[in-house]
Amino acid sequence: MIEALTRTAAAHVVAAAVRAGDVSAEALVRAALQHIAARDQALNCFTALVDDQALADARRVDREVAAGRDPGPLAGVPFAVKNLFDVAGLTTLAGSRINAARPPALHDAAAVAALRRAGAVLVGALNMDEYAFGFTTENSHYGPTHNPHDLTRVAGGSSGGSAAAVAAGLVPLALGSDTNGSVRVPAALCGVFGLKPTYGRISRAGVALFSYSLDHVGPLARSVRDLALAYDLLAGPDAADPVCTSRPPEPTLPHLGASIAELRVAVAGGGFAEDAEPEVLEALEQVARGLGADRRVALPELPRAAAAASLITHAEGSALHLPDLRSRPDDLDPMTRDRFLAGALLPAAWVVQAQRFRRWFRARALEAFTDVDVLLTATTPFPAPPIGEASRTIAGREVATRAHVGAFTRPWSFIGFPALTAPIQRPGALPLGIQLVAAPYNEALLLRVAAALEAEGVVSAPAVGAAGATAETRRGER
């Protein structure tokens, strides 16, 4: 029972077993730590483990259960967080070597604290691209995180450790951050669910930021119910985050099983339907047919939206790290350094135009959602690429692999609309992600549609090995 609960079970199933007294949180967490010890050498998801603290937290959960009290809806659920979340007692690396010299955080990030209050047990911190500036988690300081479905391929990024840890069954729930796609891209490439909520919906307090205008926090999980459960615990106002909305939270769990028959679902056209591998567009069409989504909705000016998001990201990220770029540029990861340096050189007019265009593009997207509830796109234009791949040819055009993998996620984080990626299992092939997008604050709609797709077996997180090449069999190729 313990093995099944630690390796494949959903977080809400684990919590139910703990709350019912069927299994102890301590035994669960101990088994999760053993599983991590056995598997993570090959995967490289974790940059820190907090074994002693986790076991102490688990014992506290067990005492609550024994005393007849409810430890919370995530009782005893092991979870882990991208290492840009503050964890009291750990240094917040944000994927960098520079930050490793900083003192440990004094407090948990708001999102970490929220999950712990619900009974979840933090087991460690996860690998990422340096300062979240990447889509592949090819981190030169801490090594790349490997895709659990094929160790020669990237896990995606920048929340690559989060996605790979959930996909490999090391934890059922993880937190990531998403500035241009950094929750959704790795979730799609590793075959798990990921949610980037509306901008300002989940507090970023205690999170090492990257680009103030675009940064979001979101959960990754192996089931839609877990995503909804985590979202409901995380969403809400927080005066400690200046962009966090004061709008009251709107719980999504109560709506999860509601019918989607009346919802207007359409497929995003234009660039979303062109710049991808045929196998990806085929998977998207299959999902669209299943939902009866025969309408195509094209958003205007996608290349300009991508350009504006890129300019804002570079300008804000580089301004944030300017003191280190001036004094110690060679301590940055070669994978990010030159992009940060170039971003420090942008004329103000470019960045202001990008911010003004953001408002214009938001208005067009809102118009698109006046007669559509949910838009479908592929999450990424291709499945997980090999580690080290610099470029590939898509639709006859050579593209930079590491930038183009975020082509379909970037437009939505640019304007802060909520977006969810759901995994498509493909026997003998790597998983893909389908992206569901809605108008602001409509996370409940996304989760409802994802739950319906999950109930029909259209989307689900593949077990490691389902792609035909297990981690073990590919290990020799590293």
Residues with a catalytic annotation lie at 82, 158, 182
306 near another protein, judged by CB under 8 A: yes
**φ, ψ dihedrals at 326, nearest 5°:** -75, -45
The nearest distance, CB 443 to another protein, in angstroms, is: 19
Instruction: Examine residue 304 and tell whether it contacts another protein (CB under 8 A).
Output: yes
Q: How far is the CB of 101 from another protein (least distance, A)?
A: 21
**7 belongs to the binding site for another protein (CB under 8 A):** no
Cβ contact 185:379 at 8 Å: yes
Contact pick of 34, 286, 355, 473 for another protein (by CB under 8 A): 355
Closest CB to another protein among 297 and 325? 325
288 binds another protein per the rule CB under 8 A: no
| Count, residues near another protein per rule CB under 8 A | 38
Residue choice 325, 430, 436, 463 for contact with another protein (CB under 8 A): 325
Q: Is 307 in the site for another protein (CB under 8 A)?
A: yes
Asked whether the beta carbons of 231 and 268 are under 8 A apart, the reply is no
Give the interface segment with another protein, choosing from 44-52, 59-67, 343-351, 460-468 (CB under 8 A): 343-351
205 binds another protein (CB under 8 A): no
Q: Looking at 37-45, 176-184, 355-363, 369-377, which segment touches another protein (CB under 8 A)? A: 355-363
What are the structure tokens assigned to 246, written together? 């004061």
Residue 344 sits in the site that holds another protein (CB under 8 A): yes
Sole window of 177-185, 288-296, 321-329, 433-441 interacting with another protein (rule: CB under 8 A): 321-329
Per-residue contact string for residues 362-401; x = within reach of another protein by CB under 8 A: x---------------------------------------
Query: Taking each helix axis from N to C terminus, what angle separates 302-320 and 348-368, rounded to the nearest 10 degrees?
Result: 130
Q: Is residue 80 a contact partner of residue 126, using CB atoms and an 8 Å limit?
A: yes
For residue 8, state whether it binds another protein (rule: CB under 8 A): no
Residue type, 388: G
Measured CA distances, 371 to 35, 53, 317, 439, 446 (Å): 47, 50, 36, 11, 16
User: Judged by CB under 8 A, which of 308, 374, 419, 453 binds another protein?
Assistant: 308
Q: Which two tokens stand for residue 118?
A: 């619900």
Q: CA-CA distance, 105 to 87, in Å (whole number)?
A: 6
Q: Which of 301, 331, 389, 458 binds another protein (CB under 8 A)?
A: 301
Contacting another protein (CB under 8 A), which of 358, 402, 404, 448? 358
Report CA-CA distances (Å) from 191 to 125, 231, 381, 436, 460.
Answer: 20, 19, 14, 15, 8
Toward another protein, which CB reaches closer, 321 or 448? 321
- Binding another protein (rule: CB under 8 A), the pick from 322, 399, 429, 458 is 322
Q: For another protein, which is the closer residue by CB, 29 or 311?
A: 311
Q: Which of 231, 272, 357, 412 binds another protein (CB under 8 A)?
A: 357
Scanning 11-19, 58-66, 289-297, 323-331 for contacts with another protein by CB under 8 A, the matching segment is 323-331
List Cβ<8 Å contacts ≥24 apart for 31-36.
Answer: 31/2, 31/3, 31/5, 31/6, 32/6, 32/78, 32/123, 32/170, 32/171, 33/123, 35/6, 35/7, 35/169, 35/170, 36/123, 36/124, 36/165, 36/170
DSSP per residue, 25-48: HHHHHHHHHHHHHHHHHHH--EEE
Positive or negative CA dihedral for 330, 334, 338, 343? negative
**CB proximity list for 166: less than 8 A, separation 6 or greater:** 172, 173, 174, 187, 190, 192, 220, 221, 222, 461
The correct pick among 290, 360, 399, 425 for binding another protein (CB under 8 A) is 360
Alpha-carbon span 280 to 242, nearest angstrom: 38
* Smallest distance, another protein to C-beta of residue 205, A: 15
Angle 165-53-220 (CA atoms, 0-180°, nearest 5)?
A: 25
What's the closest the beta carbon of residue 321 comes to another protein, in angstroms?
11
What's the DSSP call for residue 295? -
The two three-digit tokens of residue 56, written as one number: 């102490």
Note the residue count of the chain: 478
Q: Residues 221 to 280: which contact another protein by CB under 8 A?
A: 242-243
Q: Is 219 in the site for another protein (CB under 8 A)?
A: no
Site residues for another protein per CB under 8 A: 200, 242-243, 301, 303-304, 306-308, 310-311, 314, 322, 325-326, 329, 337-339, 341-347, 349-350, 352-360, 362
